[in-house]
Every structure is written in C-alpha cells, then in structure tokens.
C-alpha cells in the first residue's frame, strides 16, 4: 500500500468495503445533464470507519442500513 495506489469509480460495495479502502470519496451531482456539475463534500471523504462516510456507503453503495448490516454480518467487519 505504500508504493502504489488504485483509483476506482464504482457502485459495487465489494471494492471499497471488502477491499479495506483507506480513502472513500462520495460525489454529489447537482443539476441536470449538461448544465449540471459535481461536488465532493469534505464530510464524504475518509475510510469506512468515519461515520459520515459509512452512512454514505450504506445509502449509495449498499442500498440502505439493512443491506449494509447483512454484509457486515456475512463478512465479519
């Protein structure tokens, strides 16, 4: 981990959660199509141990709290 890094864009929770990602960044889309833009809220950046990041992962990648808890129990994290 010290000499290389991988950057992924995904809606698959297995990559950041089971891959023990050190930095997860959530993006927020604003507006529509060509007039829209994106932003990176600071509170959505960090590891899965950070409460705001975990809540974002639960909602966007997992499909809600219940789905996240099922995965947590299944894989023991």
Over residues 4-55, the pLDDT tens digits come to 788 888 888 778 877 888 899 988 889 887 888 999 999 999 998 899 998 8
Within a 10 A sphere around the Cβ of 60, how many other Cβ atoms? 14
Q: How far is residue 14's CA from residue 8's CA, in Å, rounded to a whole number?
A: 12
What pLDDT does residue 1 have? Answer: 62
What's the pTM value of the predicted model, to 2 decimals? 0.68
Closest CA to 17 of 8, 29, 28: 8
In contact, 29 and 9? CB cutoff 8 Å: no
Q: Are 21 and 46 in contact (CB under 8 A)?
A: no
Asked whether residue 60 is assigned to any structural domain, the reply reads: yes
Question: What is the pLDDT, as a whole number, of residue 46?
Answer: 94
Q: Give the chain's domain count.
A: 1
Query: How far apart (Å, rounded) are the C-alpha atoms in residues 25 and 8?
Result: 10
Tell me the residue range of the domain where 49 lies.
Answer: 14-67
Determine, yes or no, domain membership for 5. Answer: no
């Amino acid at each position: 981990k010290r000499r290389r890094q991988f950057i992924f864009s995904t809606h698959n929770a297995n990559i950041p959660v089971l891959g023990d990602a050190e930095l997860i960044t959530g993006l927020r889309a604003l507006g529509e199509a060509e007039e829209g833009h994106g932003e990176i809220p600071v509170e959505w950046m960090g590891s899965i141990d950070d409460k705001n990041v975990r809540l974002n992962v639960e909602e966007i990648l997992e499909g809600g709290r219940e789905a996240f808890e099922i995965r947590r129990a299944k894989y023991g994290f």
